[in-house]
């Protein structure tokens, strides 16, 4: 994974604050791919700028639409991903990543040790 501010830094849009604080004032030269014209064409830079704009906009939209996840909605195995799979026949739940990894070596439910015969997609029912 990468952070958008890393791309912004490469384009010379922003300097990470930690680097700015650690660099003596006399050595502060802003890095920018724009200064490497012999290696990077203007067309390539324009494409990177366009991609950065698109990713920034998508990131803002995703942040605005993402609802806070309660602990009850998180996978009880990893606590990193939302619950997205339900096991048959026992109806226990986890995220798809955890159950897929588990099923590579074991066919028993994490919780009740019943033999898992199938895994279905799980979507949380709408609250009333």
Interval 68-79: pLDDT, tens: 568 888 999 998
- Residues 49 and 75 occupy one common structural domain: no
- Residues 56 and 13 occupy one common structural domain: yes
Q: Is residue 128 part of a domain?
A: no
- Residues 61 and 77 occupy one common structural domain: no
Q: Is residue 127 part of a domain?
A: no
Indicate the average pLDDT of the chain: 83
User: Is residue 10's pLDDT more than 90?
Assistant: no
What lies within 8 Å, CB to CB, of 94 at 6+ separation is 75, 76, 77, 78, 83, 85, 87, 102, 110
Q: What pLDDT is stored for residue 128 in this prediction?
A: 47
Chain centre distance of CA 1: 7
- Residues 34 and 80 occupy one common structural domain: no
User: Is residue 67's pLDDT more than 80?
Assistant: no
- Residues 9 and 57 occupy one common structural domain: yes
- Residues 15 and 49 occupy one common structural domain: yes
Q: Which domain holds residue 92?
A: 71-121
User: Is residue 101's pLDDT more than 90?
Assistant: yes
- Residues 51 and 86 occupy one common structural domain: no
Provide the pLDDT confidence category of residue 21 given band limits of 50, 70 and 90: low
């Amino acid at each position: 994974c990468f952070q958008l501010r890393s791309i912004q830094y490469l384009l010379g849009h922003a300097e990470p604050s930690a680097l700015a604080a650690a660099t003596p004032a006399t050595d502060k030269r802003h890095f920018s791919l724009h200064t490497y014209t012999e290696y990077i064409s203007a067309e390539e830079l324009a494409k990177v700028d366009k991609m950065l704009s698109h990713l920034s906009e998508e990131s803002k939209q995703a942040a605005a639409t993402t609802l806070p996840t309660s602990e009850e909605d998180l996978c009880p195995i990893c606590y990193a991903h939302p619950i997205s799979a339900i096991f048959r026949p026992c109806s226990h739940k986890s995220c798809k990543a955890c159950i897929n990894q588990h099923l590579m070596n074991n066919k028993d439910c994490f919780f009740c040790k019943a033999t898992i015969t199938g895994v279905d997609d799980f979507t949380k029912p709408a609250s009333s």
